[in-house]
Chain A
Amino acid sequence: MKHIISALVENKPGVLAQVAGMFAARAFNIDSLVVGRTEDPKLSRMTIVVVGDDRVVEQVRKQLAKVVPVVKVQDFAGEPVVARDLMLISISAPPEKRPEILSLIEMFKGKVVDIGPKFIMVEVSGPEAKIEAFINACKPYGIKNVARTGTIAMPRQAKTEP
């Protein structure tokens, strides 16, 4: 099962290496890892997606908590969360296909961020499944480039998506 693990870590050099090194040394697989600042300049947040059975993920959580500069670890599995990926995707878009492609983008609430003679670049964000679906929908036109962030997440208070 996929688990989204959120770790608050001290914002200082070497922390990413310590966390990544722990994952490598213990043969835990990382699906994605995102690091960013938080509201507190002394802390960063790492959002790590790992796949594994509950025992493995429990070990991941405990070993992560043991890394000295890791301040707090949460496993969001089973909790209502908002989880989002961001993607930039460059799609082959000859003039005759553009209307079709633009309506596709609209369906996915994407945003055109760059247009060239042959390609358009689109920004899409949302749950991972939506990103995957958009990639699949674009495949027939030809994809030139994809850049994705990996998941960030936060627990939600309301039980369902608004």
Chain B
Amino acid sequence: MMSKPHSSADSAASTDQSSIKTGAQIIVDTLIEQGVDTIFGYPGGVVLPLFDRLYDAPINFIIPRHEQGACHMADAYARASGKVGVVVATSGPGACNLVTGLATANMDSVPVVALTGQVRTELIGNDAFQEADTTGVTRPVTKYNCIVKDVKELARLIKEAFYIASTGRPGPVLIDLPVDIQVNKTSTDVSAKLELPGYRVRTKGHAKQISIAAEAINKSKQPVLYVGGGVISANASEELRALAQKANLPVTTTLLGLGSYDQSRPESLDMLGMHGTAYANYAVQECDLLIAVGARFDDRVTGKLETFAPNAKIIHIDIDPASISKNVHVDIPVVGDAKLILAELVKEVKPHPRKRWFSKIAEWKEKFPLRYDKDSSTVKPQYVIEELCRQTKGRAIITTGVGQNQMWAAQFYRFSIPRQLISSGGLGTMGYGLPAAVGAQVARPDATVIDIDGDHSFNMTMTELRTAVEHKLPIKVCILNNGYMGMVRQWQELFYNKRYSKSYLSNPDYATVARALGAVGETCERPADVPKVIKAMLAEKRPCVVDFRIEREENVWPMVAAGKSLNEMDGLDILERLI
């Protein structure tokens, strides 16, 4: 066999360039070349050749208890680090268990590369043991996927996977690896060039569009910046800050945008949308210019589309052209990398006091702050989160479950650092919080990582606590235990005559479960104990679970009911009465 010449730049991490390698060897070498030092994965029959190569590879390998956990870990690892998360699973059941995790990453545009084993090439289509049509099953929940048909293409396809996952609008990419491909040998070709004629990434924004946008900003009397997770994945927070502060723009963020802008700044309006702040929602409804950056006008953000930001001209800065005018007509689109575009925009905008606009906003802030009953004799979830924020000085990495716990975390923790909140926004995947905390802690070993979870969300993946124990990851889990699928119960209370149909089930004693799994387990039932329990938890070097027995029927306010306009918020009267 002939071996091709290689440039030395390409060969940095791999061994003998001209040698014959097995597919498994090529996979591991290419991963290392891509800078991978951590993999989350679970073995099985048809990935054994790969696992054999991983036996002594210089890669930190985290084995979850369930492949869904591995996928969420890789996803959170990516969100916390900005690197690509890598997950490996076997064929059939292993690959199918990745689906929820891939869909979660896909909805939130998270760069993940999934490698799945597949049955031998000649058995494909024969309903072989543990065969599933993995590329078929995962196609709708990945940015791209493919199956490797020839070991000679392997290095290129893996490189392409990393490139596609991490560029443009990021997302998960799956490569299906028949077991024979892992075993077959070829003369190595690690310098394989990408062959992606259909994949283009626009990075620089159109200069003229940027000028038009700047002009609109300079003219606007009542602008609002509406910021999504795209600003975080583009690492554009600094540029965002510069823009908002130079042009004097109020800033509201989506759930995934939290952390992109310092919430302690006076121009921060905090989160908008279904459970956003009244002042953010009012500001959006009354603005004359909405500047959307790396956000996608999700229905949880816009409420009723027909009446969304009715007086506003809309600027939309996004890397994904298909996001433009998908839900809301955009007047000034700017397609490209938010970091580059914002940097250009900053140069062209002018300072503008907008005194009247800011005083109107100040009135709303004054009148409708987020509140809860501080004199309650039961533990209020909001209090737990405020106390967590206070004791961690607002600097912890927060992961969440889904439901009320997630919304309270978004409302009551004060975020100021990008990649600080790790939450399943688009898919709303219960069970994300715990494995996400594991992945985030692996990515950021020195950070305080706290999973603010719901009891039922925690139930879904709690087995991953053992993964944290095994790898000595000192994650903290705060279960806001209302004994309900609280968000479901809230909807049933409001829209289904309090018929709490199937929205609760019996829970175990979480402190006991935690201890059985080798973690520290505590229970907190009284408001007075909250500070000291949290203090002890934060001091703990082992994984730690605190079961906060919270007010059972607490609701998340304000709330824009599905199909209502953003300014039609329920619960404002309840909040006002709390003064």
Which residues of A approach B to under 8 Å, CB–CB?
9-10, 13-14, 17-18, 21, 25, 42, 55, 58-59, 62-63, 65-72
- Contact partner of A55 (CB less than 8 A), chosen from B320, B322, B325, is B325
- Contact partner of A68 (CB less than 8 A), chosen from B140, B143, B147, B149, is B143
Contact of B321 with A65 in the complex, beta carbons under 8 Å: yes
Answer whether residue B196 sits at the interface, using C-beta atoms and an 8 A cutoff.
Answer: yes
Contact of B140 with A21 in the complex, beta carbons under 8 Å: yes
Those 4 A-B pairs whose CB atoms lie nearest each other, nearest first: A62-B322, A71-B198, A68-B144, A25-B140
CB contacts (< 8 Å) of A21 on chain B: these are 139-140
CB contacts (< 8 Å) of B140 on chain A: these are 21, 25
Answer whether residue B146 sits at the interface, using C-beta atoms and an 8 A cutoff.
Answer: yes
Task: Report the separation of the CA atoms of residues A53 and B492 in the bound assembly, to the nearest whole angstrom.
Answer: 37
Q: How far is the CB of A48 from chain B (nearest CB, A)?
A: 16
Task: Report the separation of the CA atoms of residues A18 and B147 in the bound assembly, to the nearest whole angstrom.
Answer: 13
Q: How far is the CB of A35 from chain B (nearest CB, A)?
A: 15
Q: How far is the CB of B27 from chain A (nearest CB, A)?
A: 20
Task: Report the separation of the CA atoms of residues A65 and B197 in the bound assembly, to the nearest whole angstrom.
Answer: 12
Answer whether residue B135 sits at the interface, using C-beta atoms and an 8 A cutoff.
Answer: yes
CB contacts (< 8 Å) of A13 on chain B: these are 147, 149
Task: Report the separation of the CA atoms of residues A70 and B79 in the bound assembly, to the nearest whole angstrom.
Answer: 28
Q: How far is the CB of A11 from chain B (nearest CB, A)?
A: 11
- Contact partner of B139 (CB less than 8 A), chosen from A18, A66, A70, is A18
Answer whether residue B136 sits at the interface, using C-beta atoms and an 8 A cutoff.
Answer: yes
Q: Counting chain B CB atoms within 10 Å of each CB, which of A14, A21, A55, A68 scores highest?
A: A68
Contact with A along B197-237 (1 / 0, CB 8 A): 11100000000000000000000000000000000000000
Contact with A along B315-345 (1 / 0, CB 8 A): 0000011101110000000000000000000
CB contacts (< 8 Å) of B147 on chain A: these are 13-14
CB contacts (< 8 Å) of B149 on chain A: these are 13
Contact with A along B110-141 (1 / 0, CB 8 A): 00000000000000000000000001100110
Task: Report the separation of the CA atoms of residues A59 and B325 in the bound assembly, to the nearest whole angstrom.
Answer: 8
Which A-chain residue is minimally distant from B329 (CB atoms)?
A: A55
Q: How far is the CB of B479 from chain A (nearest CB, A)?
A: 35
- Contact partner of A66 (CB less than 8 A), chosen from B197, B320, B325, is B320
Which B-chain residue is minimally distant from A21 (CB atoms)?
A: B139
A10-B198, A68-B164 given; name 19 further pairs at CB < 8 Å.
A9-B198, A13-B147, A14-B135, A14-B146, A14-B147, A17-B139, A18-B139, A25-B140, A58-B325, A62-B324, A65-B321, A66-B320, A66-B321, A66-B322, A67-B198, A68-B198, A70-B198, A71-B198, A72-B198
Task: Report the separation of the CA atoms of residues A59 and B320 in the bound assembly, to the nearest whole angstrom.
Answer: 12
Which B-chain residue is minimally distant from A68 (CB atoms)?
A: B144
Task: Report the separation of the CA atoms of residues A59 and B328 in the bound assembly, to the nearest whole angstrom.
Answer: 12
Contact of B322 with A63 in the complex, beta carbons under 8 Å: yes
Task: Report the separation of the CA atoms of residues A9 and B197 in the bound assembly, to the nearest whole angstrom.
Answer: 9
Which residues of B approach A to under 8 Å, CB–CB?
135-136, 139-140, 143-144, 146-147, 149, 164, 196-199, 320-322, 324-326
CB contacts (< 8 Å) of A70 on chain B: these are 198
Which A-chain residue is minimally distant from B173 (CB atoms)?
A: A68
Task: Report the separation of the CA atoms of residues A18 and B146 in the bound assembly, to the nearest whole angstrom.
Answer: 10
Which B-chain residue is minimally distant from A25 (CB atoms)?
A: B140
5 A-B residue pairs with CB within 8 Å: A14-B135, A17-B136, A62-B321, A65-B322, A66-B321
Task: Report the separation of the CA atoms of residues A52 and B290 in the bound assembly, to the nearest whole angstrom.
Answer: 28
Q: How far is the CB of B57 from chain A (nearest CB, A)?
A: 29
Task: Report the separation of the CA atoms of residues A67 and B198 in the bound assembly, to the nearest whole angstrom.
Answer: 8
Which A-chain residue is minimally distant from B168 (CB atoms)?
A: A66
CB contacts (< 8 Å) of B321 on chain A: these are 62, 65-66
Task: Report the separation of the CA atoms of residues A59 and B329 in the bound assembly, to the nearest whole angstrom.
Answer: 12
Task: Report the separation of the CA atoms of residues A59 and B139 in the bound assembly, to the nearest whole angstrom.
Answer: 19
Q: How far is the CB of B339 from chain A (nearest CB, A)?
A: 21
Task: Report the separation of the CA atoms of residues A69 and B164 in the bound assembly, to the nearest whole angstrom.
Answer: 11
CB contacts (< 8 Å) of B197 on chain A: these are 10, 42, 71
- Contact partner of B198 (CB less than 8 A), chosen from A14, A25, A69, is A69
Q: Counting chain A CB atoms within 10 Å of each CB, which of B136, B196, B197, B199 scores highest?
A: B197
Task: Report the separation of the CA atoms of residues A105 and B378 in the bound assembly, to the nearest whole angstrom.
Answer: 86
Q: How far is the CB of A145 from chain B (nearest CB, A)?
A: 31
Q: How far is the CB of B292 from chain A (nearest CB, A)?
A: 17
Q: How far is the CB of B105 from chain A (nearest CB, A)?
A: 16
Task: Report the separation of the CA atoms of residues A114 and B136 in the bound assembly, to the nearest whole angstrom.
Answer: 40
Contact of A59 with B322 in the complex, beta carbons under 8 Å: yes
CB contacts (< 8 Å) of A17 on chain B: these are 136, 139
Task: Report the separation of the CA atoms of residues A65 and B136 in the bound assembly, to the nearest whole angstrom.
Answer: 20
CB contacts (< 8 Å) of A58 on chain B: these are 325
CB contacts (< 8 Å) of A67 on chain B: these are 198
Task: Report the separation of the CA atoms of residues A25 and B139 in the bound assembly, to the nearest whole angstrom.
Answer: 10
CB contacts (< 8 Å) of A72 on chain B: these are 198
Task: Report the separation of the CA atoms of residues A21 and B142 in the bound assembly, to the nearest whole angstrom.
Answer: 12
- Contact partner of B196 (CB less than 8 A), chosen from A9, A42, A65, A68, is A68
Task: Report the separation of the CA atoms of residues A13 and B321 in the bound assembly, to the nearest whole angstrom.
Answer: 26
Which A-chain residue is minimally distant from B195 (CB atoms)?
A: A10
Contact of B198 with A59 in the complex, beta carbons under 8 Å: no
Q: How far is the CB of A87 from chain B (nearest CB, A)?
A: 32
Contact of B326 with A59 in the complex, beta carbons under 8 Å: yes
Which A-chain residue is minimally distant from B144 (CB atoms)?
A: A68
CB contacts (< 8 Å) of B144 on chain A: these are 68
Which B-chain residue is minimally distant from A70 (CB atoms)?
A: B198
CB contacts (< 8 Å) of A59 on chain B: these are 322, 326
